[in-house]
């Protein structure tokens, strides 16, 4: 369905749902004009039949979803899959990170690679013990390193950051950067603020988004704090825009996963809501956002736990 600016396009990735439920989408641009999206789907979240599904976009059409990973043990589905994260390096294969396990407190990290833009995938590899990979939102590239925003839920909600210089073969981790007592935080996004300054923001149980800063490209992190942006204990995503501004997609509420809103900021500190993507009752959640080579912003998100919606936005029309 074609919309009026700033929304250029709003569509479902699929209409004939391959599973009863779906959630936690991710999107990447593999070539100019070519996209790949992934999500988890099955009977219901945490059920053993929940796998990772992928669809590719080219020439204005999404391909039929294909299941590319399951939580199998000895060839049989035993554990659910969760939270895929796609990342396309400038030089290297398309990476697909995801989690497998009986729940967030006990899951482990997995990774697959594709050398043909998501058409075919290599054998899934389990990440090293204690490494989960990017937990919801994609890595950023800093000084030849993929810096992955991650978090754990086994000893309270704690954020940490993981790094790999060889596309997932070897890893290092910061360890937790919050104690989960004053702020329960997970699922960060990483923003570049200029120079070596980074800021991570994301989900909490405290009714507002958290922020935490690094002065040295993620080597060390300061004190976690709460932003003046509401959060109903739901996933968000934030990205740098090419024009120097920052874009946030989030649920503008302290209690519901609606409305789903875009906010813009000049400093990644003060955020101004500029567009509602969804405002009806229900769940519109877990957004992910990228800015493609042509400057457009592509957002995917969970629509009522039954569909994945894809929206294209002209960022030059936001906040004007």
Both tokens of residue 128? 């090293």
Contact 111, 119 (CB under 8 A): no
Residue 73's beta-bridge partner residues?
Answer: 76
Distance CA 205, CA 158 (A): 11
Instruction: Give a three-class secondary structure readout of 113-155.
Output: EECCCCCCCCCCEECCCCCCCCCCCCCEEECCEEEEEEEECEC
**Overall average pLDDT of the 1-9 stretch:** 70
Q: Region 203-224: what's the mean pLDDT? A: 98
User: Which residues does 281 contact at the CB level (< 8 Å), separation at least 6?
Assistant: 258
pLDDT of residue 3: 46
Contact yes or no for 251/202 (Cβ under 8 A) = no
pTM, rounded to two decimals: 0.96
pLDDT of residue 88 exceeding 50, the answer is yes
- Say yes or no to pLDDT of 17 above 80: yes
**pLDDT value, residue 4:** 52
CA distances from residue 284 to 33, 84, 119, 189, 287 in whole angstroms, order as listed:
26, 18, 28, 19, 8
Query: What phi and psi, each to the nearest 5 degrees, are found at residue 28?
Result: -145, 150
Task: Give the side-chain half-sphere CA count within 13 A for 266.
Answer: 2
Determine the pLDDT at residue 276.
97
Closest CA to 302 of 23, 17, 55, 11: 23
State yes or no: pLDDT of 306 exceeds 80: yes
What pLDDT shows up at residue 172?
97
pLDDT, averaged across the chain: 96
How many other CB atoms are found less than 10 A from the CB of residue 98?
Answer: 28
Asked if the model's pLDDT at residue 2 lies above 90, the reply is no
């Amino acid at each position: 369905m074609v919309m009026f600016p700033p929304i250029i396009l709003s569509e479902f990735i699929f209409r004939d749902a391959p599973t009863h439920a779906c959630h936690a989408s991710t999107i990447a641009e593999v070539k100019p004009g070519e996209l790949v999206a992934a999500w988890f789907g099955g009977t219901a979240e945490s059920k053993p039949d929940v796998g990772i599904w992928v669809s590719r976009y080219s020439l204005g059409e999404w391909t039929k979803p294909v299941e590319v990973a399951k939580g199998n043990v000895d060839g049989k589905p035993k554990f659910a899959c969760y939270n895929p994260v796609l990342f396309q390096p400038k030089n290297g294969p398309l990476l697909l990170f995801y989690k497998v396990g009986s729940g967030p407190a006990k899951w482990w990290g997995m990774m697959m690679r594709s050398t043909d833009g998501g058409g075919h995938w290599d054998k899934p590899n389990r990440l090293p013990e204690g490494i989960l990979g990017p937990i919801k939102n994609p890595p950023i590239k800093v000084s030849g390193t993929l810096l992955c925003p991650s978090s754990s839920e086994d000893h309270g909600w704690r954020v940490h950051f993981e790094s790999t210089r060889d596309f997932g073969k070897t890893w290092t981790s910061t360890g937790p950067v919050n104690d989960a007592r004053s702020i329960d935080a997970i699922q960060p996004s990483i923003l570049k603020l200029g120079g070596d300054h980074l800021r991570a923001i994301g989900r909490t149980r405290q009714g507002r988004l958290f922020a935490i800063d690094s002065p040295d490209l993620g080597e060390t992190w300061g004190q976690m704090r709460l932003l003046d942006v509401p959060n109903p204990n739901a996933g968000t995503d934030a990205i740098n825009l090419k024009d120097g501004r920052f874009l946030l997609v989030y649920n503008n509420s302290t209690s519901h996963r609606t409305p789903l809103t875009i906010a813009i900021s000049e400093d990644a500190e003060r955020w101004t809501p500029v567009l509602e993507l969804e405002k009806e009752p229900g769940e519109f959640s877990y957004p992910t956002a990228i800015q493609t080579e042509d400057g457009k912003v592509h957002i995917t998100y969970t629509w009522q736990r039954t569909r994945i919606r894809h929206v294209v936005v002209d960022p030059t029309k936001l906040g004007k």
